[in-house]
Amino acid sequence: MFAALPAEIHELGRLFEAAGHELALVGGPVRDAVLGRSSADLDFTTSARPEQTEQILRDWTAGGAIWDMGRDFGTLGGVRHGVKVEITTYRTESYDPHSRKPQVEYGDTLEGDLSRRDFTVNAMAVRLPSLELVDPFDGLADLARTLLRTPVTPRQSFTDDPLRMMRAVRFVAQLGFRIEDATADAIEELAERITIVSAERVREELVKLMLGAHPRGGLELLTELGLAAHVLPELPALQLEIDEHHHHKDVYEHTLTVLDQAIDLESPAGSGGPCEGPDLVLRLAALMHDVGKPATRRFEEGGAVTFRFHETVGAKMTAKRMKALTFDKDTTKKVARLVELHLRFHGYVDSPWTDSAVRRYVTDAGDLLQHLHRLTRADVTTRNRRKARTLARAYDELEARIDELAAQEEIDRIRPDLDGNRIMEILDLPPGRAVGEAYQHLLALRMEHGPLGEERAEQELRTWWAARQES
């Protein structure tokens, strides 16, 4: 499988070997190749120091592009014939317990470099140009078992770099892995250390989790292991105690089910359809749509439970959390707006809307209408089949009315090729009924034949007028 690497990579390996240095493909690209997945990243590690790597890269790129923004961490990059590589000198790292930024020290062996990797499945390497697989921590066996385990003790690994705890739950969502018990125990014990990681890095991991093939599994672990309490506290807060009469659903489980159902409603990747999967805005809206419920829960007389205005409160909470996680303004605005609108449809079920109300629904949704369609449908998790069918039929009807109104309003925007003033000028007529009849005649021609052009429209107008005069 590694023989299929681009010819440029094999040549790079020979250049390092000729210069007396080791070079190995490492980490995610090795893992993905074993899994039969393609990888856009080509990360390498080497015994060469940065200045030696730079000289070899200059020879390899033949004067092409080289970048060294990571030089302080021993990393340089280059590109040849479209093949991009990043090469890092073997490292052993020590960490300040109050920071996740490593104090870089260069290492001497590939095995030592692999020991500082996050998980055993990422601690495999392929030596170049020999293509020898190096797997000192049994990552291949763990890959076969879909097991996440750290090369060193998990407590040491997560103490050194707390972001690895987020990466663990992200791999569950992306690859369907499971976390070894001792590793999970260490995450639960050290979860609070995630607070020393920058919001930007946490957001990056959360986004990758949400865009994975199994986001529900990752989110469940994020909650169970205590990480969510620090990075997304609105999620565990949904685990409301259900009253003894079961007058409301388990909001947490409901939310995860809505997320699953929203994902099922995405258009296939690469199809060009609306909400093409994976759709981050739709998935985040499904995750956050009920976060306002804990703050708005009220127990009414008779035991009823209400969550009045939870959509409005939830929209504000969503915007606040996404801002704290440094999401961009556009994504934040879209997700918060969907949370705010997600209950609007229920008014339609209670009493069918006027055309004006349907237009207002469409206008309020704006460019998010297709997302709102899917979020609203996904929000039906009732086990009462009759109720579910009623809601589905009602939303089918609403979507049909939206389409009908859209088509009608598109028709209403069509105008004949000549306006009233031009008609009066051509026929030498004053304002009156005849002008209106001429306008309608030209409009009918426009609807039937499409744009006529002014010259033909004038001919048709004169022919119609002459026939009208003779009758």
352-383 burial string, b = 16+ CB within 10 Å, else e? ebeeeebbebbeebeebbbbbbbbbbbbbeee
pLDDT at site 243 = 46
At 414 the pLDDT is 65
Contact 282, 331 (CB under 8 A): no
Instruction: Give me the pLDDT at residue 244, please.
Output: 44
Q: Strand pairing partners for 79?
A: 84
3-class DSSP assignment, residue 151: coil
Helical ranges in 297-367 per DSSP H: 310-324, 329-341, 346-350, 355-365
Question: What is residue 102's predicted lDDT score, i.e. its pLDDT?
Answer: 55
pLDDT score for 245: 43
Tell me how far apart the alpha carbons of residues 130 and 148 are, in angstroms, rounded to a whole number: 28
8 Å CB contact between 318 and 336: yes
Residue whose C-alpha is closest to residue 299's, from 238, 236, 248, 249? 248
Across the strands, what pairs with 23?
46, 128
pLDDT, residue 322, reads: 98
- Is pTM, for the whole model, over 0.85? no
Pairs from 69-78 (Cβ < 8 Å, separation ≥ 24)? 72/104, 73/102, 73/104, 74/49, 74/50, 74/104, 74/106, 75/50, 76/50
Q: Look at residue 246 in the predicted model and tell me its pLDDT.
A: 47
pLDDT score recorded for residue 99: 54
Which helix (H) or strand (E) is 260 found in, with range?
Answer: helix 251-264
- CA pseudo-torsion sign 8, 13, 16, 18: negative
Maximum Cα interatomic distance, the chain, rounded to a whole number of Å: 103
Taking only the tens of pLDDT, the chain with its 471 residues reads 687 889 999 999 999 999 999 999 999 999 998 888 877 789 999 999 999 999 999 999 987 889 988 888 899 999 999 899 999 999 875 555 555 555 567 888 999 999 989 999 999 999 999 999 999 999 999 999 999 999 999 999 999 899 999 999 999 999 999 999 999 999 999 999 999 999 999 999 999 999 999 999 999 999 999 999 999 999 999 997 554 444 445 899 999 999 999 999 999 998 988 999 999 999 999 999 999 999 888 887 777 787 889 999 999 999 999 999 999 999 999 999 999 999 988 777 777 778 878 888 888 888 999 999 999 999 988 888 888 888 888 888 888 888 887 777 665 566 888 999 999 999 999 999 999 999 989 988 886 777 888 999 999 999 999 998 886
Q: Which residues of 108-133 are buried (b: 16+ CB within 10 A; e: fewer)?
A: eebeebbbbbbbbbbbbbbbbbeeee
Task: Look up residue 382 and give its two tokens.
Answer: 């009732």
Whole-number Cα distances in Å, 349 to 45, 251, 395? 61, 22, 8
Distance CA 195, CA 328 (A): 21
Domains (range + CATH), the chain: 2-145 (3.30.460.10), 151-232 (1.10.110.30), 250-412 (no CATH), 420-470 (no CATH)
